[in-house]
């Protein structure tokens, strides 16, 4: 049902159709939301074996300093993110976010030290804006959006077994390692990371080899194709933010409970304190706290509580105190799971609040994130 010619296609588009995927528009791309197995089975497949996701719509960006040194590229990017990039070791990556002058979040991203340059992976919906933002602010660096590469995510407890069947040495990689690996005869950039709460890998592959690689991975009996529907329920159970839902230009990293991603060296008293957009507010919030926080929410009944549901202190809907930003049914949690913002005073796990769903006020308990136990290979 590809009736919208304006939608872009990833290098795996034909494969999705051949697998019987249900396609939907997502961030300007025609993407598989689910395959014939359905969201529930796809989610459980990823938690118990391995799932293969096409995330080629995301932006892969090379940042390289004119000097050719990693340090110059790292120092430049540190002007835009409150993260220790200079201290990132060769072959390692970490999570970060672009902040704006008000200290809110422009996008979240992964940043890898690739020896003499940075590889940055950003969200599909933000990639043009992110590239423009970096080009405007990273003087002395070239910023290049890669348009000739696909990105595959292989996730789940069997991900290592599946990928090692093509390249045995990936078994020696640890969580957040990044290295070049030859797959289907082609140089790929592999990171041991993902967005599901499971062990797994993200694989940057030349576009013209993407389908061959996907077929090779799918031919393993433990691996199945997984759509965006299960990607969302997996990341929500894992407590991971979705940009545009849980974080955006109205939320600061501290409000979003993402202070763990801001290393000491960039905080007050650190060697490279501040020096990023909105630093004044963010550094103040790191010590003084915020009036609201992103929290995990566990609805008590069976009804999913979705994004934008209002949260109340009381069961009568008189005292509105917050809002749900993501919510669904968690197939592994075997019940509804959600995230949202609450006043700091009501953000402690165990606190009961009420969510408005179709005119009713359903009890919801603040819960520590994640909802599952991650299986990252540290």
Partner 1 sequence: MLKFTAEHEWLKLEGDVATVGITTHAAEQLGDLVFVELPDVGTELTKDGNAATVESVKAASDVYAPLDGEVTEVNQAIVDDPSVVNSDPQGAGWFFKLKLKNTSDLDALMDEAAYKDLIG
Binder among 8, 9, 92, 306 for partner 1 (CB under 8 A): 306
Q: How far is the first Cα of the chain from the last one, in angstroms, to the nearest whole number? A: 42
Q: Is position 197 an interface residue for partner 1 (rule: CB under 8 A)?
A: no
Q: Is position 302 an interface residue for partner 1 (rule: CB under 8 A)?
A: yes
Helices (H), 259-330: 279-288
- Minimum distance between the CB of residue 233 and partner 1, rounded to whole angstroms? 5
What is the SS3 assignment for 305? coil
Q: Is the preceding omega at residue 109 within 30 degrees of 0, hence cis? A: no
Q: Which tokens is 286 given?
A: 């790191």
Q: Is position 34 an interface residue for partner 1 (rule: CB under 8 A)?
A: yes
Q: What is the four-CA torsion angle of 59, 60, 63, 69, rounded to 10 degrees? A: 160
- Minimum distance between the CB of residue 38 and partner 1, rounded to whole angstroms? 5
For the beta carbon of residue 244, count every other beta carbon within 10 angstroms.
15
Would you give the binding string for partner 1 spanning residues 217-256, x where CB under 8 A is met?
------------xx-xx-----------------------
Binder among 129, 303, 321, 333 for partner 1 (CB under 8 A): 303
The answer to whether 197 and 235 have CB atoms below 8 angstroms apart is: yes
**Does residue 202 have a known ligand-binding role?**
yes
- Minimum distance between the CB of residue 53 and partner 1, rounded to whole angstroms? 16
- Minimum distance between the CB of residue 30 and partner 1, rounded to whole angstroms? 17
Angle in degrees, CA 226, 13, 133, rounded to 5 = 90
Alpha carbon distance 171, 73 (integer Å):
30
* Segment interacting with partner 1 (CB under 8 A) among 5-13, 108-116, 313-321, 328-336: 328-336
Binder among 329, 354, 361, 371 for partner 1 (CB under 8 A): 329
- Minimum distance between the CB of residue 323 and partner 1, rounded to whole angstroms? 17
- Minimum distance between the CB of residue 358 and partner 1, rounded to whole angstroms? 7
What is the SS3 assignment for 247? strand
Element (H, E) at 366: strand 360-367
Alpha carbon distance 374, 198 (integer Å):
5
Q: Is position 304 an interface residue for partner 1 (rule: CB under 8 A)?
A: yes
Chain positions contacting partner 1, by CB under 8 A: 33-34, 38-41, 43, 229-230, 232-233, 302-304, 306, 328-329, 331, 336, 358
Which residues sit in the known binding site for substrate?
202
């Amino acid at each position: 049902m590809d009736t919208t010619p304006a939608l872009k296609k990833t290098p795996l588009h034909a494969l999705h159709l051949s697998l019987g995927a249900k396609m939907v528009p997502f961030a300007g791309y025609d993407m598989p939301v689910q395959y014939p197995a359905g969201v529930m089975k796809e989610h459980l497949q990823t938690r118990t074996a391995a799932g293969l996701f096409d995330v080629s719509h995301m932006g892969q960006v090379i940042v390289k300093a004119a000097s050719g040194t990693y340090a110059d590229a790292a120092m430049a990017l540190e002007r835009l993110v409150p993260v220790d990039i200079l201290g990132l070791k060769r072959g390692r990556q970490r999570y970060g976010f672009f902040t704006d002058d008000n200290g809110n979040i422009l996008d979240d991203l992964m940043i890898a030290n690739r020896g003499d340059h940075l590889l940055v992976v950003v969200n599909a919906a933000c990639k043009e804006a992110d590239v423009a933002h970096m080009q405007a602010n990273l003087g002395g660096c070239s910023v290049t959006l890669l348009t000739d590469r696909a990105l595959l995510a292989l996730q789940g407890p069997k991900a290592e077994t599946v990928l090692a069947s093509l390249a045995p040495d990936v078994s020696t990689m640890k969580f957040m390692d990044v290295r070049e690996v030859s797959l289907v005869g082609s140089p790929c950039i592999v990171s041991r990371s993902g967005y599901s709460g499971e062990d797994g890998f993200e694989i940057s592959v030349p576009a013209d080899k993407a389908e061959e690689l996907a077929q090779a991975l799918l031919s393993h009996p433990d691996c199945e194709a997984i759509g965006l529907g299960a990607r969302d329920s997996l990341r929500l159970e894992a407590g991971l933010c979705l940009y545009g839902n849980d974080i955006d230009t109205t939320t600061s990293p501290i409000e979003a409970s993402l202070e763990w991603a801001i290393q000491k060296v960039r905080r007050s008293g650190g060697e490279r304190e501040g020096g990023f957009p909105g630093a004044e507010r963010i550094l103040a919030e790191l010590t003084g706290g915020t009036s609201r926080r992103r929290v995990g929410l566990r609805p008590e009944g069976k009804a999913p509580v979705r994004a934008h549901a209002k949260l109340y202190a009381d069961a009568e809907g008189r005292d509105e105190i917050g809002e749900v930003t993501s919510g669904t049914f968690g197939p592994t949690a075997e019940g509804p799971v959600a995230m949202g913002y609450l006043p700091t005073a009501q953000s402690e796990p165990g606190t009961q609040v009420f969510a408005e769903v179709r005119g009713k006020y359903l009890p919801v308990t603040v819960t520590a994130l994640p909802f599952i136990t991650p299986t990252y290979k540290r």
